[in-house]
């Protein structure tokens, strides 16, 4: 076993999961009562982390896992040990989806949701391809990703386009099941400046689509918040939080990671 893998296995995943789950509960109790009372879902973001750590988290009760590269999700989802020991695993794709990777992603066993649909074109492509890969007539869950921080490098639709794209998914993509909105937002936002504007904006986009498209707000999820700010995100309405390093330990700095998208 390599030193890196050995070191990673020293991370106490069960303890970390328990801590995060209890903090989620506390954050829910602080959530404004005007917000829909949807119990938050924890996504364990396992990118760069090895299969044994995923299995350990699964054995500790975790079911939802997130990956942001298609190749890595596909490899892990097809791993014989995962297929054998993690039968109820639910994979969330949370990275940028290139057209030429759609088929590979949709063939991944136990794919639960694609959180990063950000254009009508991508929605149409995924909708069309899902027909080939689904079992029976199941619909594929999707979220629409919104670029709430107006950063050019970030993916996601412009907030002003949200209603149009969601309407398109609802009316034109019969193989897709619209679940909610997702944002990444700016990193390292300083909460002492007040509520995170990205989270406020995503909640506002939800209000808007619910009003304009006549949707029940209690059924529309908000995926926002990561290791540094998931509690804050829940207070502002997150129903899905994506937590990686707090559960699995720190990742190597970005420029040291292999780009395997």
Ligand X SMILES: *Cc1c(COP(=O)(O)O)cnc(C)c1O
Cβ proximity to ligand X, 115 vs 235, nearer residue: 115
Cβ proximity to ligand X, 123 vs 184, nearer residue: 184
Give the residue among 7, 5, 10, 11 at the shortest CA–CA distance from 247. Answer: 11
Q: Residue 193 class from Cβ within 10 Å (0-12 exposed, 13-18 middle, 19+ buried)?
A: exposed
Tell me the residue nearest to ligand X as measured from the CB: 244
Nearest approach, Cβ of residue 45 and ligand X (Å)? 4
Nearest approach, Cβ of residue 182 and ligand X (Å)? 8
Q: Residue 107 class from Cβ within 10 Å (0-12 exposed, 13-18 middle, 19+ buried)?
A: middle
CA distance 34 to 197: 18
Distance of CA 24 to the CA centre of its chain: 16
Nearest approach, Cβ of residue 33 and ligand X (Å)? 27
Distance of CA 151 to the CA centre of its chain: 19
Cβ proximity to ligand X, 32 vs 259, nearer residue: 259
Cβ proximity to ligand X, 68 vs 210, nearer residue: 68
CA distance 80 to 64: 18
Nearest approach, Cβ of residue 245 and ligand X (Å)? 4
**Footprint of ligand X (CB under 6 A):** 45, 47, 68, 94, 184, 226-227, 242-246
Cβ proximity to ligand X, 94 vs 201, nearer residue: 94
Nearest approach, Cβ of residue 227 and ligand X (Å)? 3
CA distance 221 to 53: 28
Instruction: Write out the DSSP string of 139-204.
Output: PEEEEEEB-TT--TTS-SB-GGGHHHHHHHHHHH-TTEEEEEEE----TT--GGGSS-HHHHHHHH
Nearest approach, Cβ of residue 244 and ligand X (Å)? 3
CA distance 216 to 111: 26
Cβ proximity to ligand X, 117 vs 210, nearer residue: 117
């Amino acid at each position: 076993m390599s030193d890196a893998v050995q070191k990673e296995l020293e991370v106490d995943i069960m303890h970390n999961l328990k801590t995060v789950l209890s903090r989620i509960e506390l954050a829910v109790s602080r959530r404004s009562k005007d917000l829909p009372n949807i119990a938050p879902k924890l996504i364990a973001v396992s990118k760069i982390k090895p299969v044994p750590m995923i299995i350990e988290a699964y054995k500790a009760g975790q079911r939802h896992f997130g990956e942001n590269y298609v190749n890595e999700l596909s490899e892990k989802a097809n791993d014989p040990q995962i297929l054998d020991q993690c039968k109820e695993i639910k994979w969330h794709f949370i990275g940028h989806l290139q057209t030429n990777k759609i088929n590979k992603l949709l063939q991944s066993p136990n794919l639960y949701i694609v959180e990063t649909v950000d254009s009508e074109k991508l929605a149409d492509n995924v909708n069309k391809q899902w027909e080939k890969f689904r079992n029976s007539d199941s619909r594929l869950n999707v979220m629409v990703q919104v670029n709430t921080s107006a950063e050019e490098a970030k993916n996601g639709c412009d907030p002003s386009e949200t209603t149009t794209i969601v309407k398109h998914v609802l009316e034109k993509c019969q193989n897709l099941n619209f679940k909610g909105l997702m944002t990444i937002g700016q990193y390292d936002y300083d909460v002492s400046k007040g509520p995170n504007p990205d989270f406020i904006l995503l909640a506002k986009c939800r209000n808007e689509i619910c009003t304009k498209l006549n949707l029940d707000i209690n059924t529309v999820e908000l995926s926002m918040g990561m290791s540094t700010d998931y509690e804050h995100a829940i207070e502002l309405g997150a129903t899905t939080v994506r937590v990686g390093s707090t559960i699995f330990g720190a990742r190597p700095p970005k420029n040291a990671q292999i780009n395997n998208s």
